Amino acid sequence: MIDFKAIRFLGLGCLLFLSSLAQAQEKVRLHYQQPAEEWTEALPVGNGRLGAMVFGGVEKAHIQFNEETLWAGEPHDYSHKDAHLYLDEIRTLLAEGKQLEAQDLATEKFMSIPITQLPYQPFGDLYMEFLGHQDYSKYSRELDLENALTKVSYEVDGVRFDRSLFSSHPDQAIVIHIAASKKGALDFSVWLDAVHETKTVSASAAGQQLEVQLSNGVLSGIAKIKVESDGELMEKEGKLSIKNASQATIKLVAATNYIDFQDISADATTLAEGYLQSMEGKTYDQLKSAHLADYKELFDRFSLDLGGDERETIPTDKRIYDFWKNPEDPQLIALYVQYARYLMIASSRPGTLPPTLQGLWNDKIKPPWLSGYTTNINLEVNYWPVEMANLAECHEPLFDFIRDLSQTGGKVASEHYGAEGWVAHHNVDLWRGAAPVNASHHGIWVTGGAWLSTHIWEHYLFSQDASFLAENYSLMKEAALFFSQFLYLDPNSGYLISSPSNSPEIGGLVAGPTMDHQIIRALFRNTIAAAEVLGTDQDFAEELRELLPKIAPNKVGQHGQLQEWMEDVDDPENHHRHVSHLWAVHPGNEINYKDEPVLMDAAKQSLEYRGDNGTGWSLAWKVNFWARFLDGDRAYKLLHSLLSPAEEPERKNQGGSYPNLFDAHPPFQIDGNFGGAAGILELFVQSHLEEIDLLPALPEALPQGDLKGIRARGGFTLDVQWDKGKLTKLVVYSTAGQFCILQYGDIRVEIPTKVGGKYTFNGKLEKQ
């Protein structure tokens, strides 16, 4: 377990500006003038484990909630025994150009058992009914990102009613507070329910319990509510009734019998009761204060002001529509970044699971793509902004996930490939299935574990925390060990290649997709560098060094494009949303203008051919690509699409944003939110080439800005200000005492730093 308290804010320098940063932030919120009717209009809350979608109805309010461990299925080994006996035959078929035969054999002998995984599940629903409130006025609802609070207010017959809701990490509960401006004017009922077929609801005068049992699996859950009020409480017809009150507080807790992917022996009832008992005697104000202290310690480390504040009073749904018609709303871009940071804090806390394709939020028994963990981009893109956006602790659930996956992936490496180390394919569920699933033509993709392992090295680069690296180095080493044994000498080219595999979702089962080789080279280089930092495993590092030049290189094809496969068969008319062979541009760094300008131009040509179409994560990835190509205006064009209204008839199936700013793939996928935020930050600061490049891809549409608390590799935190498109001030906080190289246009500055040091520069990078 990473001791983030010991490295809080990853250095003393961040503490120097934290308090002033919190005071300087203006209110950042989503707000509306009407209740939410659809799920994609509801507002999300979460504490990493317990999340909810708040619909904010008036006469009948609906809170749909999730607990992260409620999944279908049971502990299960997905590996296919002795699949490796067919590996050579599959490789030979591919080398001979017999793709369909290879796919058929792989389908029969090489796939996961069973061939599909299991879905994440909704937990339950909390309803509140306010009879007589159908005629209301002065309605408003909002999600206050600075305080992680949803709020609803309105008036009925001159009485103001206010509802606040938050999901508390310290108290592991969803807390709802309802107040009336007139004494005794608050009358309502509250109850629990669920969409599951097997459920039981029981009630007493002050509380209610929901028990759900999944029909497709062994997990069950208990949810409990407790109501505290100055009014009269009673149980009637399965509902809790509150009469003649001025205020009421509802505490909602939930738990399952899940402990980990191998152990389901937890007592959900005991856990839920424990959460309630821990809040015994705490007032709403006390619960709220603890929530705010915990949340703001994370959120207030970072701020972004891009000017154009005059549109902040416009309701968010209208603001999204207006941005589609005229994309001149800089603060909407800033809001999108802060919303992603909010969603990360809400869905990924130390000790919890990583966010799924839908984050912490899902209302369907059969969710899209199982609401699982797709590792051929989607899970990784969720974590692209986490280090830059100063939320390093939120990275920890991914590292825990990798540790689990290395266990199941070790079995798959042995059974499917006859190799040591560990491997993971393109989809994973709660039970950590690492074997290839769904279909051979896209499920046999071997570099999921390798890509995930790069996040370990990235966290080290940002933090310079050698103890973290030592704790997790074996995960990188074992992933690299697998590929050192898996790489196959291609009889056609003479290079070592990845076979069998695929270029995600394009082209079927192949030998030697470019993306694989890029990821494997990055894994080898990271492992070599980590071994050097730690002073260990030099023999293994040397083995990897010898393998690197033998791996099939990146190649430029007949259309001036970066080839996606070993053969020069790319179709310039293919506008598929995956552009996987540009991985080495982003999130990798092998291809860049400094070291590989020819390949960089070829990669740019490939992206031009793919076009600007795409939805969700695809648009977000292209924003990051264009930032690395130093074309901020092209990146902003794609941000325009990402932030346009998804449900407008003219934009059907084009993606964009729902009214609650959730990303529309469609349907909702949270990776677009996270990837888009990462791309925005890449416009302002890049640090992937051992230097800090300032405003490298600033769009004309964002001529001014005040960015505080962004992190850069090398253990640095920055405050960056610009006006009229020019840098005006820079403050660098060194959290690790590393040598710092700053680049702004043609200006380059190199400075030694000390731990906790603060260094201030003007727009010409002259020290102040």
Per-residue confidence (pLDDT) for residue 4, from 0 to 100: 42
Residues of the chain where predicted confidence (pLDDT) is lower than 50: 1-26
Residue identified by tokens 């051919």 is: 609
The half-sphere exposure of 117 on its side-chain side, counting CA atoms within 13 A, is 31
Write the DSSP string, 476-543. HHHHHHHHHHH-EE-TTTSSEE--SEEETTEEEEES--HHHHHHHHHHHHHHHHHHHHHT--HHHHHH
Shortest CA distance to 640 belongs to which of 324, 384, 230? Answer: 324
The half-sphere exposure of 755 on its side-chain side, counting CA atoms within 13 A, is 9
Shortest CA distance to 228 belongs to which of 175, 160, 291? Answer: 175
Per-residue confidence (pLDDT) for residue 613, from 0 to 100: 86
Tell me what percent of the residues of the chain surpass a pLDDT of 70: 97
The distance from CA 190 to its chain's CA centroid, rounded to whole angstroms, is 33
Shortest CA distance to 545 belongs to which of 564, 562, 532? Answer: 532
Per-residue confidence (pLDDT) for residue 654, from 0 to 100: 86
Cα distance between the two ends of the chain: 40
263 three-state secondary structure: strand
Per-residue confidence (pLDDT) for residue 26, from 0 to 100: 47
CA atoms of 247 and 140, how far apart (whole Å)? 19
CA atoms of 392 and 385, how far apart (whole Å)? 10
Asked if 396 and 226 count as a contact pair (C-beta separation under 8 A), the reply is: no
Per-residue confidence (pLDDT) for residue 5, from 0 to 100: 40
Asked if 118 and 72 count as a contact pair (C-beta separation under 8 A), the reply is: yes
